Amino acid sequence: MRYLTAGESHGPQLTTIIEGVPAGLYITEEDINFELARRQKGHGRGRRMQIEKDQAKIMSGVRHARTLGSPIALVVENNDWKHWTKIMGAAPITEDEEKEMKRQISRPRPGHADLNGAIKYNHRDMRNVLERSSARETTVRVAAGAVAKKILSELGIKVAGHVLQIGAVKAEKTEYTSIEDLQRVTEESPVRCYDEEAGKKMMAAIDEAKANGDSIGGIVEVIVEGMPVGVGSYVHYDRKLDSKLAAAVLSINAFKGVEFGIGFEAAGRNGSEVHDEIIWDEEKGYTRATNRLGGLEGGMTTGMPIVVRGVMKPIPTLYKPLKSVDIETKEPFSASIERSDSCAVPAASVVAEAAVAWEIANAVVEQFGLDQIDRIRENVENMRKLSREF
Amino acid sequence: MRYLTAGESHGPQLTTIIEGVPAGLYITEEDINFELARRQKGHGRGRRMQIEKDQAKIMSGVRHARTLGSPIALVVENNDWKHWTKIMGAAPITEDEEKEMKRQISRPRPGHADLNGAIKYNHRDMRNVLERSSARETTVRVAAGAVAKKILSELGIKVAGHVLQIGAVKAEKTEYTSIEDLQRVTEESPVRCYDEEAGKKMMAAIDEAKANGDSIGGIVEVIVEGMPVGVGSYVHYDRKLDSKLAAAVLSINAFKGVEFGIGFEAAGRNGSEVHDEIIWDEEKGYTRATNRLGGLEGGMTTGMPIVVRGVMKPIPTLYKPLKSVDIETKEPFSASIERSDSCAVPAASVVAEAAVAWEIANAVVEQFGLDQIDRIRENVENMRKLSREF
Amino acid sequence: MRYLTAGESHGPQLTTIIEGVPAGLYITEEDINFELARRQKGHGRGRRMQIEKDQAKIMSGVRHARTLGSPIALVVENNDWKHWTKIMGAAPITEDEEKEMKRQISRPRPGHADLNGAIKYNHRDMRNVLERSSARETTVRVAAGAVAKKILSELGIKVAGHVLQIGAVKAEKTEYTSIEDLQRVTEESPVRCYDEEAGKKMMAAIDEAKANGDSIGGIVEVIVEGMPVGVGSYVHYDRKLDSKLAAAVLSINAFKGVEFGIGFEAAGRNGSEVHDEIIWDEEKGYTRATNRLGGLEGGMTTGMPIVVRGVMKPIPTLYKPLKSVDIETKEPFSASIERSDSCAVPAASVVAEAAVAWEIANAVVEQFGLDQIDRIRENVENMRKLSREF
Amino acid sequence: MRYLTAGESHGPQLTTIIEGVPAGLYITEEDINFELARRQKGHGRGRRMQIEKDQAKIMSGVRHARTLGSPIALVVENNDWKHWTKIMGAAPITEDEEKEMKRQISRPRPGHADLNGAIKYNHRDMRNVLERSSARETTVRVAAGAVAKKILSELGIKVAGHVLQIGAVKAEKTEYTSIEDLQRVTEESPVRCYDEEAGKKMMAAIDEAKANGDSIGGIVEVIVEGMPVGVGSYVHYDRKLDSKLAAAVLSINAFKGVEFGIGFEAAGRNGSEVHDEIIWDEEKGYTRATNRLGGLEGGMTTGMPIVVRGVMKPIPTLYKPLKSVDIETKEPFSASIERSDSCAVPAASVVAEAAVAWEIANAVVEQFGLDQIDRIRENVENMRKLSREF
C-alpha cells in the first residue's frame, strides 16, 4: 500500500490518495472523522483548532461503506481558506498585486523549515515553505492512519497512543490493565495521559509555558497488540519492521528521537536484564516472560505488544521569540509569531498512532496477500495457528 | 543509488552489489579494507574476529581505480567456510546426511531472530535463520558505506562515528576541537571513545561483564560535517532526511533507539532552550548560534553538523544464558552459546558510520544529479555558493 | 517524481496528487484544461463526452501560477455525479436499498476488466470494477502529463502525439517538416492525423463501424524532440528509458503493443539497414545520419527525436455484443452495452502523449537535480554543451 | 522480490543478488546451469560462446538445495578474464601503463551504447561503456529467471519461449499441441523454432548474413500457462501486468518492440474480431472461447495463456561496418568489429523467457504472500478454486 498527501495550511483543502487498500473493508466517513476530531483535541492547542472543525470526505475508492480495492481519495477542506484566496490562490497575479501581497515572510523562524526550504527551492517569500511544512499536513496522515486502523481492527490488531511526558512532568502510573483500558482512560484525559495525577501537572506545565510565551514538548508512546509472529524480516536491512517504524515516527513534524521497548536504557543494562526469556504453553504457544524488547526481535514481531516511543521537541513558534535574520535586509530580528499551539504533544500522540498504524497495516497487507480483506484475515489466522503449533 | 547484500555467516562469502554510483570516483580495495579492519577492531570482540581477517575484492564496476557508473560488486570471503562446507553447502544432501547433520539448532536464543524467523519461514533447524540474522552481514554494509564515504569526501563532507557510553560508563569529555581531531583520537581508542579516562572504565566494564558471562551495550554517535543546506525535504513525509537516517540506524543489528541533536532531552526543555537561533555573516552566510537540533530542521540539513545517536542493546548471546524452550521437545532449557563478542559497541559505531554515510551520499547524489562525480561536485559547490548569497 | 490517481467513472470527482515537481515552474489551470479539452475531442467519441466538459482545479502545490515544490493536487469533477449519488455514494446503505440498487452488473463484458476484477476482489456487482477500470481515469493522467509537458517545455523539449492508423486506414503522408508543423496540422484534424486524405477515410471507417454496432482501434505515435544525450542508462536493466516508456504506453487502457523507431520491421532487415550511422559537425556535435532506432540506443537518448508507437485495440463495449456468461445464473448472454465511444484512438494519442511526457520529465528531473526548475535548466544546458564539445 | 546484477563482459565475474525469494523452494546449481547452457546454444552465436562455458555458483541463500528466505547470490566466472586482468583490473595503474593500455576504444559503434554512454559518464575510453552494455550481462538475468521459473513450476505455472521469425523467414506452423510439446520441439531446434521447415530456412538466412558480413534480427514469443485469474490489477496504471511485462521485454539488449495476443494486428480489426467471448463450464469455471488478447484484460490475467512477443534488432556489431566518428580526431571511419554473434535471436528467446518468468513470479509472490513457498502454493490453489466457484 502507499499514500501521497497534498495541501498547504491555508490552501483550499488537504488531499490524500491511499492506493492498494484491500477490497471489502467496511469504512465510513465517521470512522475517519472520529480520528480527525481526536487530533484536534488536547490541552494547549492554539486558536487554529477553533477555526477548523476537520471533516474528511471520501471522494473515491469506497462504495456503500465498502472499499473497492481502487485508490481512496480523502479531502479535508480548510474553513480558513475563504480568508486566504488572494494570498494562497493558484491563479497568476499581476506585478502590482505581487508587490502589495500581504503576509509575505522574509524572516525565518528558528527550528522551522523556513530558511532551509527557502534556500532549497529558491523562495524569497518563506510563506511558500511554511504553508506546506506546517503540521496542518498531519490531518490527512491521521486520515490515512484511520484507514490503516480499520484494516488492523479486522485482523484483531489494536493500536493505542498515549502521552508519557510533557515538559518535566512524567507519568508515574503507567501499568494499564489492558489496551482497551489504556484507550478508555487516555481518551478522557485532556493530555491523553493514563496517570491522572501526572495529567493535571502536565496541564499546569502547559499553562505556565504559555504564560511565559514559551512552548514545551514531551514523549508519546504507541502500543500495538494482537500482532502475528514474524511480520517484518531479518533477511535484508530495509525489511526490518523497527527500521520502518523508526522512519514513520521521525517523519512526524518536530519529532527528534524514537526508541523501542526499554530503548536507550538498554545501554546501561547487562544482557541478562535486557532480553526476554522464551516460554511456551499449550494454549498460547511461544510467548516471552517479559517484553523489554518492545515486541521486536531481529526486525520481526515476536507476538508480544509492540512498544514504540517518540520525543517531540517544543513547537518552534514562540510568543517569546528567538533571534533570527531578515533574508532581505540581513538584519537580526526576533522571530515572528504565527498563531500556534503552545503544546501539541497530546495531538502528536494521535499522529504517532496513525503513522505506526500505517506501517503495521502496510507490512501485514504486504506479507499476507494484497487483494481482499477476508483472504488476508484468513492468512493472518493461519499464521497465528501455525505459530501456536510450531 | 541502492544496494543489496547477501551471505550467511558461515557460508562461502558475503556479497554486495551497489548500483547507481556516479562514474569517475577514485576508489581502491584498500579504501574499503581500511573500513573493514576498523569494524574488526574494538575491545570486547569475540574469537570470530581472530578467525576472519576481512578483505573485500572489487569484482565489477571499477576499472583502474575509477568507478565506471556501472554496478559495483564487492565480495568478502569467509575464511571459516572451509569448516562449514558440509553444514552450509548449497548442494542437495541425502536423508541420512540430513539426520546426521551437526550443529542443528532447535533451541532459540532469547533476543535473537531465531524463533520469529523459524516460524516465519518454517525452518525447523534455526541455523537457517541465525546464519543470516547474524551481525556478520554488517561487514558488507561497512563495505557499501566505504564507497559512500568516498563520494562524500569528494564533496567535502566528513563522517565520524564514536562511542559515548558502554554499560553504565559515560564519556564526560566530548567537546572535540574538530571532526579530524575526533577521528584521530577515537581511531586510537580500543573502545572508540574520545574521552580517554572514560575509555579505560569502559574496557573494565566490558571485562567485568565477560567475567560474569554477560554482555553489555552502549550508545554511539555519528557526526556529519560539510553538508550543503537543504538536503532532504519537508514537502512529503518520506523525503525527510532524519526519517531516512532513523531507518538506517534502526536497521543495524541490536539497535533499539535513535535520536538527533539533544534528542529525548528536548521533551523536558522549553522551546526557547531547544531551537537554534539563526545568525548571518558575510563570509559564511546563514548559520546557527547553537546546534541543539543536530543539523536538521523540517527534515532538511541546516548546514550545521548532523548529530545522530543510536543505542545498541547488549548482544543476546550470553555465556550466562537465559531461559528458552526447545521447539522439538517443548522443554524449557538455558539458551545455547554461539561464539560471540561480549561487547560490540565499538564495532557498531563503525557500522553506524557506514549506514549514515550511505543515506547521506544517496540523498546528495539523488538531489544533485546522478551520473558523474565531477558534475555532482560542481552542483554541490553551486548550492553552497547560492546558500551563502541567498 | 511520482503521482497517484483516484476516482470512479461516475463518482464525485477524479483526483491526482503529483509529488516531486521542481519549484518555480510557471503553470496555470488553463495549461491543464487545454490538454483535457484535447483529450475530449476526436471523431468517434461517445455521448459521455457531451456530458462532461472536463475542468481541472489546482487544489495545492501552486501559488500565483508558480509551483512551490510541494505536492500538486488536481481535481476534475464529474458533472454526471448528480445522477449517481445513490448508486455510487460512499455512505452505508440499508439491506433494502442494496436489493433495489439499480445498474448492478452481473454480466461481464468480454475484453474488459469486469470478470477478472470481480474474481480478484470478490465483487458480485461488477460495477465495482468497471467504475475504476474505465478509461475515464485517463483524464487525470492527461492532467499529470500537462504538468510534465510544462517542465519539458522549460527545458526546450517538445512532445507531439498523432494518429497513424484507424481500422484498416493508414496515413500515407507522414513526413512532417517540423514538430511544430506536426502539432499544428494534427490539432486541426478530427482524428489527429497529419495526412488529411487518410483522415477523411479514417472518419468514414469510424462511422461505418458505428453503423455496424462495432468499434475499431488504431496506432498512435509520439515524437519527442530536443532531448539531451544520455537520458536513461545501460548500466542496469530497469534504468533503460525505452523500458520505462514501454511500460508507460502499455499502462494505457486498451493498448496491446509498443515499438520504437522502425520497431517490428527490424526483424526482417539486415543490421546494416537498421543502425544509424554516427556523424559529427562543429556546430551540432554528434548526430545520426538516420533515426531508424527512434532516438534510443543502449537504453539512452541519442539526442535524435524519440519515436514511439502504440497499438490500441478496438473498445470492447460493442453495440454488436459478444457472448458472455451471467455470473449469478451462469447462463450465456450477449454483453451489456455501456454508453461508449466507437473509436477512441484520437483521444488515446493525447493520453499516450501525456504518458510519454511524464516518463521523459521524470527521467530528466531525476538525472539533472530535483529541486528547482532554473537549476535543472542550467544542468540540461550544460549537458547539451558538454555533448557538443565531447 | 528484487534483483541487481553486476559485472563487465571481460571482468572477473558476473554477479547477481536476488532478494525476497520465498523460503523452502527446492533449487540446485544444475537448475540454473541448465538455463545458462540453453542461452549459450543457438545457430549464429559468435566465438565468445566457445570460450565461455557458463557455470553459476550459489554463494548464499540456499542450504542443502532449499532456499532459506535470505538473499541468493549467484556468481558466473568469466573464463576469458585471465586475458584481461591488466586491461580490466580494479587496481590503480601508473600513467605510463595508462598510455600503453591496449584495446582502448575511441571509435563508437553505431547502434550501441558506446557514444551515448561515453558522453553521459564522461568516458574517453568507450571500453568503459561497452564492457557493461554488452549482452554478456543477460547471463545473470537468465540465472535470476531460472530461480523465478522454479517458483512458478512449484505453482503449476509454465513458461516457454521460442522463435517466430529470423530475418525475412517466418514460422508458418505454429499451432503447438501443448506447452510441453512446444518446449520439447523448440529445445531440439538450433534456432528454437517450432516449425522445422522454417527453422532450416532461418539457419540459411543466418549463414547468408554472416557471409555478407552482416547480422539479422527476429521475433521471439513467450507463452505462460497455468496462471490463476486476477494477477496484476486495473486499479492503478503501474499495477497492470502487461505494463510490467512490456518493461521487462524492452529492457533486454537490442529489443525494440513488444506486443500481446494479436498485438499490432488489433489496429486493423473490428472490436467483434478482437475480444474473447466468455464461456463457462462446471469443471473449468470461466474461460475464453479464443485468446486474441493474449491472456490479459484490464492489466490482469484471465487464466488463459499469456502470449507476449518481442522484436530484436540485428546486432549492431557488423563485419560490414557502418560509418562513425573517432571522438579524439573527429574523423569519420568505419565502426570497429568486436567478436560477436551474427544472430542472437535464439539466445534472446531464452533471455525473454527469463525476463517474463521473473515479472510473473514477482507478481504472484507479491500477491499471494511473501514468505514461504508452501503457503504461496496454498493461496494460489485457493484462488484457482475460488475462480472456478465464483
pLDDT digits (tens, 9 = 90+) for B25-78: 999 999 999 999 999 988 876 666 666 689 999 999 999 999 999 999 999 999
E strand residue ranges, chain B: 2-6, 13-19, 56-60, 62-63, 66-67, 72-77, 158-166, 169-170, 218-225, 255-260, 278-281, 285-288, 296-297, 300-301, 306-312, 323-325, 332-334
Q: How confident is the model at residue C337 (pLDDT cuts 50, 70, 90)?
A: low
Q: How confident is the model at residue B319 (pLDDT cuts 50, 70, 90)?
A: low
Of D69, D235, D369, the CB nearest to A367: D369
- pLDDT, residue C272, reads 84
Tell whether the model's pLDDT for residue D229 goes beyond 90. yes
Tell whether the model's pLDDT for residue A339 goes beyond 70. no
Instruction: Give contacts of D 311-330 with C, CB under 8 A.
Output: 311-316, 318, 320, 322-325, 327, 330
Instruction: From chain B, pick out residues whose CB is under 8 angstroms from the CB of D58.
Output: 90
The verdict on D387 touching C (C-beta cutoff 8 Å) is: yes
Using H for helix, E for strand and C for coil, what is the string for D174-205?
CCCCCHHHHHHHHHHCCCCCCCHHHHHHHHHH
The verdict on C2 touching A (C-beta cutoff 8 Å) is: yes
Distance (Å, rounded) from C-alpha A116 to C-alpha B302?
6
Distance (Å, rounded) from C-alpha A365 to C-alpha C292?
46
Listed range (A350-359, B143-152, C90-99, C221-230) with the worst mean pLDDT: C90-99
Q: How confident is the model at residue C200 (pLDDT cuts 50, 70, 90)?
A: very high
- pLDDT, residue D52, reads 67
CB atoms D367 and A366 under 8 Å? no
The verdict on C230 touching B (C-beta cutoff 8 Å) is: yes
Tell whether the model's pLDDT for residue D284 goes beyond 60. yes
CB atoms C15 and A60 under 8 Å? yes
- pLDDT, residue B197, reads 97
- Residue B96 exposure: Cα atoms within 13 Å on the Cβ side: 0
Please work out, in degrees rounded to the nearest 5, the angle formed at the alpha carbon of residue D94 by the alpha carbons of D88 and D99. 75
- Cell numbers for D306: 499469456
Tell whether the model's pLDDT for residue D271 goes beyond 90. no
Q: How far is D15 from chain A (nearest CA, A)?
A: 18
The verdict on D340 touching B (C-beta cutoff 8 Å) is: no
The CATH superfamily of D2-388 is: Chorismate synthase AroC (3.60.150.10)
CB atoms C71 and A98 under 8 Å? no
Question: Residues of chain A with pLDDT > 90: what percent?
Answer: 86
Instruction: From chain A, pick out residues whose CB is under 8 angstroms from the CB of B271.
Output: 111, 209, 214-217, 313-316, 318, 320
- Mean pLDDT on B288-317: 95
- pLDDT, residue D317, reads 59
- pLDDT, residue B52, reads 67
- pLDDT, residue A315, reads 86
Distance (Å, rounded) from C-alpha A23 to C-alpha C122?
8
Q: How far is CA A117 from the centre of its chain?
A: 22
- Mean pLDDT on B350-374: 96
Distance (Å, rounded) from C-alpha C239 to C-alpha C230?
12
The verdict on B20 touching D (C-beta cutoff 8 Å) is: no
The verdict on C243 touching D (C-beta cutoff 8 Å) is: yes
- pLDDT, residue C99, reads 86
pLDDT greater at residue A132 or residue A319: A132
Tell whether the model's pLDDT for residue D143 goes beyond 90. yes
Q: How far is CA D46 from the centre of its chain?
A: 18
- Cell numbers for D171: 514460422
* Phi and psi angles of residue B380, each rounded to the nearest 5 degrees, phi first: -70, -40
Tell whether the model's pLDDT for residue D51 goes beyond 70. no
- pLDDT, residue C375, reads 95
pLDDT tens figures, A57-101: 999 999 999 999 999 999 999 999 999 999 999 999 999 998 888
Q: How confident is the model at residue B317 (pLDDT cuts 50, 70, 90)?
A: low
Distance (Å, rounded) from C-alpha A49 to C-alpha C324?
56
pLDDT tens figures, A2-52: 999 999 999 999 999 999 999 999 999 999 999 999 999 888 766 666 666
The verdict on B88 touching D (C-beta cutoff 8 Å) is: yes
- pLDDT, residue D306, reads 98
Listed range (C266-275, D12-21, D355-364) with the worst mean pLDDT: C266-275
* Phi and psi angles of residue B272, each rounded to the nearest 5 degrees, phi first: -65, -15
Tell whether the model's pLDDT for residue D336 goes beyond 60. no
Instruction: State the best of A59, A67, A81, A87 to mutate against chain C, taking most chain C CBs within 10 Å.
Output: A59
CB atoms D238 and C247 under 8 Å? yes
User: How are beta strands B255-260 and A285-288 bridged, if at all?
Assistant: unpaired
Q: What Cα–Cα distance (Å) separates residue C340 from each residue in A70, A301, C76, C131, C210?
A: 22, 50, 20, 13, 11
Give chain D's length.
390
Q: How confident is the model at residue B281 (pLDDT cuts 50, 70, 90)?
A: very high
- Mean pLDDT on D112-119: 97
Q: Partners for D (CB, 8 Å, 3+ pairs)?
A: A, B, C
Tell whether the model's pLDDT for residue A338 goes beyond 60. no
CB atoms A379 and D382 under 8 Å? no
The verdict on C121 touching A (C-beta cutoff 8 Å) is: yes
CB atoms C298 and D274 under 8 Å? no
pLDDT tens figures, A226-260: 999 999 999 999 999 999 999 999 999 999 999 99
The ipTM assigned to this model is 0.97
Question: H or E segment at D128?
Answer: helix D127-133
Tell whether the model's pLDDT for residue D48 goes beyond 70. no
- pLDDT, residue C184, reads 97
The CATH fold assigned to B2-389 is Chorismate synthase, AroC fold (3.60.150)
Instruction: State the best of B33, B84, B119, B121 to mutate against chain D, taking most chain D CBs within 10 Å.
Output: B121
- pLDDT, residue C319, reads 64
Domains of chain C, by residue range, sit at 2-388
Q: How far is C281 from chain D (nearest CA, A)?
A: 8
- Mean pLDDT on C122-136: 96
Tell whether the model's pLDDT for residue B200 goes beyond 70. yes
The verdict on D236 touching A (C-beta cutoff 8 Å) is: yes
Q: What Cα–Cα distance (Å) separates residue C8 from each residue in A70, A90, C11, C76, D299?
A: 8, 26, 5, 11, 17
Of D215, D219, D235, the CB nearest to C267: D219
- pLDDT, residue C338, reads 54
Question: H or E segment at A365?
Answer: helix A345-367
pLDDT tens figures, C316-331: 756 667 899 999 999 9
- pLDDT, residue B48, reads 60
Tell whether the model's pLDDT for residue C190 goes beyond 80. yes
Question: Residues of chain D with pLDDT > 70: what percent?
Answer: 95
Q: How does the average pLDDT of chain C come out, rounded? A: 94
- pLDDT, residue B108, reads 93
Tell whether the model's pLDDT for residue B198 goes beyond 80. yes
Q: How does the average pLDDT of chain D come out, rounded? A: 94
Q: Are the CB atoms for A323 and A109 separated by under 8 Å? A: no
Give chain B's length.
390
Q: Can you tell me whether residue A332 is helix, strand or coil? A: strand
